[in-house]
Amino acid sequence: MAGPKRRDAAVLALAAVAITAAATAPFPQGQAAAGARSQWAGTPVAQLLPRTSIQSPLPSALSPQPQADSQDCLSCHGDPALALSLPSGETLSLFISPEALAQSEHERLGISCDSCHPNITGYPHPAAEFATRRELTHSLYLTCRTCHSANYERTLDSMHAQAAAAGRSEAPVCTDCHGAHDVRPPDEPRSLISETCGQCHTTIFQQYRDSVHGKALMRGGNPDVPVCTDCHGVHNIPDPRTAQFRIQSPELCAGCHADPQLMRKYGLSAEVYQLYSVSWHGVDVGVYKSHWPGIWHESAVCTDCHGVHDIRTAQDPASRVNPDKLLGTCRQCHPTAGPNWTGAWTGHDPVSRERTPFVFYTQAFYRSFTPAVLIPAALYLALQILRALAARIRRSLP
Amino acid sequence: MSAPARGSPFSGRPPVRTERTFQRFNRGQRWEHAALILSFTVLLLSGLPQKYRAAAWSQHILATPERVELLRTIHHWAAVLLIAEAAYHLGRALWLMSRRRLSGAMLPTWGDVRDAAGMLRYLLFLSRERPRFGKYNFEQKFTYWFLFFAIGILIISGLILRFPLFFTRFLPGGIIPAAKLAHSTEAIVAGGFVLLWHFYHVHVERLNLSMFTGRLSEEEMRQHHPREYERWMSEADAEAQAE
């Protein structure tokens, strides 16, 4: 698609679409920005950013020519009508919003346009080598790794990279989540992270938005509830459908739900994980976690009963662990369970007379029965041994 | 009843000392005990790694999920043997009872309380004489009845754990965690009791193999079961007089 002819065609197209340009879509992922900022803390990226902003914005290899000021580029690209017709039939707006650019993190750091567009060093620009907007994105996003190499490499282990390797071109790359010209801190506000993921994962995002976590996040920007990346990771997002992810998921929940300070803030018990880990399900899961994490195991983990993205409080009538719905939840795994079955669940609470009387009285019985039998038996035997020794000594005396 | 003399069949030699032995356990009782040893040992050994699954030694044994399954299968088959033995034992007792032939020798009596007090006096050097025991002394009766109820609890709680869906059809769900607690705790108490109490009395205090040979020597009878010995002697005298 490259070549002088194609370039001429492109220039003609600029004029042709000028009128309709206002209606065309802005640059893809215009609003997107995701990834926890905390992710950057302590990474080489965090140290790199301020330093490069003070001295040379980027390694000189990236900008062999004297850097063009972004104002130079905006003299053309500040025109909302500027657009390009692609061979695919798509129209690519070439408009860069000066306002969005001015607010971007890169502009603030003085990073010039040609840092990310290294092939464009002057005018006229080289011929476009892409047939679709997606091809353009794929040809440009790799420049991110020049500075953000650690995070780029993390993405290579991610579920998204697997999808891309399987030929799914819509699998997200850097700019799909972070934006391009308008790149901003991805967690301001914090709910932006989940909203970014929700651009593609719409159903899951709707479930999450109505969950106890999502509601707290969306309403008041709660700093404690998990956003997508807290459970799924940021750049190296693993496949959550593997045996390994499943068996380790209770630990993930425990990250917050076993934190006494955090749980006290919301009037929740911080013992839930500890009590789970000694329960029937939990012991089983613990063994698989430490020995056979790669073997799929059905013993219930937190999400099997509480839900995954749609977690609600147990008091919520829509919650799977609401007393009215609990039996149905048990029957997911124990399909023939009768109505008494839920009574077998000792809950995430310590043994008590009120909640779990059978266990309580059994425990009380054995706490007295065991020593009441074994201690007198041991004492009796000790006396017998002493007496037998005494008798033997007496017999051996002359 | 019989106390056959094991005499020397050789003539022309000076008669060797003859020793009479007395039947203590019949063949059926000895087989029952063998079944009990086998099932109880296998159950204890296959149950412990399941109870202590979080412990390193247990995870060494249960190194693969297949081994967990195998161990459970072994435990369940040993339980089948124990349940069969318990059913036979109870069934035979009921059958004998219906014919009024069940011996009451194993039933606890006030005499056992007196014997225990007397034994305690002897052990505390307050008395020089041991109590004179009958066929089963109070230690042996305690062993029997302790294990009787322990095995009852283990079988019931084990069945609840094996068939939880069935039992919660008519029993409250709370019995399942209670059965889990009772099963593993009772097993430890019973196992500890057998190791401590039973093993001391039949292996250390004196080697009492009557449960395998079925018989006790006259000397053992005189020393450890004098009341039973005297009863037999007087019965034998009465028979001799009758003849």
* Residue B2 in this model has a pLDDT that exceeds 70: no
Residue A183 lies in a domain: yes
Q: What pLDDT shows up at residue A14? A: 40
- Judge whether A379 is closer than 8 Å to chain B, CB to CB: no
Q: What pLDDT shows up at residue B19? A: 80
Residue A271 lies in a domain: yes
Q: What pLDDT shows up at residue B15? A: 74
Cβ distance B125 to A373 less than 8 Å, yes or no, reads no
CATH level 2 (architecture), domain B23-242: Up-down Bundle (1.20)
Q: Domain boundary at A344, A369, A384, which?
A: A344
Cβ distance B173 to A345 less than 8 Å, yes or no, reads yes
% residues pLDDT > 70 (chain B): 94
Could you tell me if A179 and A195 are in contact, meaning their C-beta atoms sit under 8 angstroms apart? no
% residues pLDDT > 90 (chain A): 51
For residue A374, the enclosing domain spans 357-398
Q: What pLDDT shows up at residue B12? A: 63
Residues A182 and A68 in one domain: yes
Residues of B with CB below 8 A from A369's CB?
189
| Residues A350-370, mean pLDDT to the nearest whole number | 93
Least-confidence region, from A63-72, A93-102, B196-205: A63-72
Residues A47 and A182 in one domain: yes
- Judge whether A326 is closer than 8 Å to chain B, CB to CB: no
Query: Which residues does B220 contact at the CB level (< 8 Å), separation at least 6?
Result: B208, B210
Query: Which of B173, B182, B196 lies at the smallest CB-CB distance from A341?
Result: B173
What token pair was written down for A383? 């006396």
Can you give the length of chain A in residues?
398
Residues A142 and A173 in one domain: yes
Task: Please name which of A82, A65, A60, A112 lies closest in space to residue A15, comparing C-alpha atoms.
Answer: A82
In chain B, where the domains are located = 23-242
Residues A14 and A121 in one domain: yes
Q: What pLDDT shows up at residue A268? A: 93
What token pair was written down for B166? 């069935």
The Cα–Cα gap between A16 and A173 comes to: 31
Residues A11 and A75 in one domain: yes
Q: What pLDDT shows up at residue A37? A: 37
Cβ distance A366 to B186 less than 8 Å, yes or no, reads yes
Q: What pLDDT shows up at residue A30? A: 35
Higher pLDDT, B12 or A383: A383
The Cα–Cα gap between A252 and A320 comes to: 20
Cβ distance B185 to A366 less than 8 Å, yes or no, reads yes
Cβ distance A287 to B185 less than 8 Å, yes or no, reads no
Task: Please name which of A179, A175, A187 lies closest in space to residue A37, comparing C-alpha atoms.
Answer: A187
- Judge whether A356 is closer than 8 Å to chain B, CB to CB: yes
Cβ distance B62 to A287 less than 8 Å, yes or no, reads yes
Higher pLDDT, B145 or A142: B145
Could you tell me if A377 and B197 are in contact, meaning their C-beta atoms sit under 8 angstroms apart? yes
| Residues A245-273, mean pLDDT to the nearest whole number | 94
Q: What pLDDT shows up at residue A349? A: 84
Residues of A with CB below 8 A from B124's CB?
383
* Residue B116 in this model has a pLDDT that exceeds 50: yes
* Residue B155 in this model has a pLDDT that exceeds 80: yes
Q: What pLDDT shows up at residue A12? A: 40
| Residues A213-240, mean pLDDT to the nearest whole number | 92
Neighbours of A268 (CB within 10 A): 16
DSSP-assigned beta bridge partners for residue A84: A92
> Dihedral sign, CA of B134, B140, B141, B144?
negative
Can you give the length of chain B in residues?
243
Task: Please name which of A122, A140, A120 lies closest in space to residue A180, comparing C-alpha atoms.
Answer: A140
- Judge whether A125 is closer than 8 Å to chain B, CB to CB: no
Residues of B with CB below 8 A from A292's CB?
64-65
Query: Which of A286, A343, A384 lies at the smallest CB-CB distance from B172?
Result: A343
Q: How far is B46 from chain A (nearest CA, A)?
A: 17
DSSP-assigned beta bridge partners for residue B19: B6
Average pLDDT score over chain B: 90
* Residue A22 in this model has a pLDDT that exceeds 70: no
φ, ψ for residue B20, nearest 5 deg = -85, 145
In whole angstroms, what separates CA B231 from the centre of its chain? 24
Strands A91-93 vs A83-85: parallel, antiparallel or unpaired: antiparallel
* Residue keyed to tokens 């039939």: A89
Residues A159 and A183 in one domain: yes
The Cα–Cα gap between B130 and B121 comes to: 9
Q: Domain boundary at A317, A344, A371, which?
A: A344
Q: What pLDDT shows up at residue A66? A: 43
Cβ distance A359 to B177 less than 8 Å, yes or no, reads yes
- Judge whether A341 is closer than 8 Å to chain B, CB to CB: yes
Residue A218 lies in a domain: no
pTM: 0.77
What token pair was written down for B215? 């018989």
Residue A15 lies in a domain: yes
* Residue B158 in this model has a pLDDT that exceeds 90: yes
Residues A113 and A246 in one domain: no
Write out pLDDT tens, residues B187-231: 999 999 999 999 999 998 888 899 999 999 988 999 899 999 999
Residues of B with CB below 8 A from A275's CB?
none
Please name the residue of chain A whose CA is at the shortest distance from the CA of residue B187.
A370
Residues A314 and A394 in one domain: no
Residues of A with CB below 8 A from B120's CB?
383
Cβ distance A374 to B193 less than 8 Å, yes or no, reads yes
Confidence label for A122 from pLDDT (cuts 50, 70 and 90): confident
Confidence label for A45 from pLDDT (cuts 50, 70 and 90): very low
Least-confidence region, from A112-121, A196-205, B221-230: A112-121
Q: Domain boundary at A321, A344, A367, which?
A: A344
Residues A17 and A163 in one domain: yes
Could you tell me if A56 and A50 are in contact, meaning their C-beta atoms sit under 8 angstroms apart? no
Highest mean pLDDT among A176-190, B15-29, B160-174: B160-174
Task: Please name which of B50, B52, B51, B47 lies closest in space to residue B79, comparing C-alpha atoms.
Answer: B47
Query: Residue A125 to residues A90, A128, A247: CA-CA distances in angstroms?
Result: 20, 8, 53
Cβ distance B174 to A343 less than 8 Å, yes or no, reads yes
Could you tell me if A182 and A100 are in contact, meaning their C-beta atoms sit under 8 angstroms apart? yes
| Total tally of structural domains belonging to chain A | 3
* Residue A290 in this model has a pLDDT that exceeds 90: no
Residues A31 and A124 in one domain: yes
Residues A13 and A152 in one domain: yes
Residue A267 lies in a domain: yes
Residues A32 and A177 in one domain: yes
- Could you write out the three-class secondary structure of chain A? CCCHHHHHHHHHHHHHCCCHHHHCCCCCCCCCCCCCHHHHCCCHHHHHHHHHHHCCCCCHHHCCCCCCCHHHHHHHHCCCCCEEECCCCCEEECCCCHHHHHHCHHHHCCCCHHHHCCCCCCCCCCCCCCCCHHHHHHHHHHHHHHHCHHHHHHHHCCHHHHHHHCCCCCCCCHHHHHCCCCCCCCCCCCHHHHHHHHCCCHHHHHHHHHCHHHHHHHHHCCCCCCCHHHHHCCCCCCCCCCHHHHHHHHHHHHHHHCCHHHHHHCCCCCCHHHHHHCCHHHHHHHHHHHHCCCCCCCCCCHHHHHCCCCCCCCCCCCCCCCCCCHHHHHHCCCCCCCHHHHHHCCCCCCCCCCCCHHHHHHHHHHHHHHHHHHHHHHHHHHHHHHHHHHHHHHHHCC
Cβ distance A340 to B168 less than 8 Å, yes or no, reads yes
Please name the residue of chain B whose CA is at the shortest distance from the CA of residue A359.
B178
Cβ distance B169 to A366 less than 8 Å, yes or no, reads no
Q: What pLDDT shows up at residue A203? A: 95
Q: What pLDDT shows up at residue A102? A: 87
Residues of B with CB below 8 A from A383's CB?
120, 123-124
Confidence label for A90 from pLDDT (cuts 50, 70 and 90): confident
* Residue keyed to tokens 């006494």: A260
Burial of residue A356, with CB atoms counted within 10 A of its CB: 0-12 exposed, 13-18 middle, 19 or more buried? buried
Complex-level ipTM beyond the 0.90 threshold: no
Residues of B with CB below 8 A from A344's CB?
164, 168, 173-177
* Residue keyed to tokens 């109820």: B149
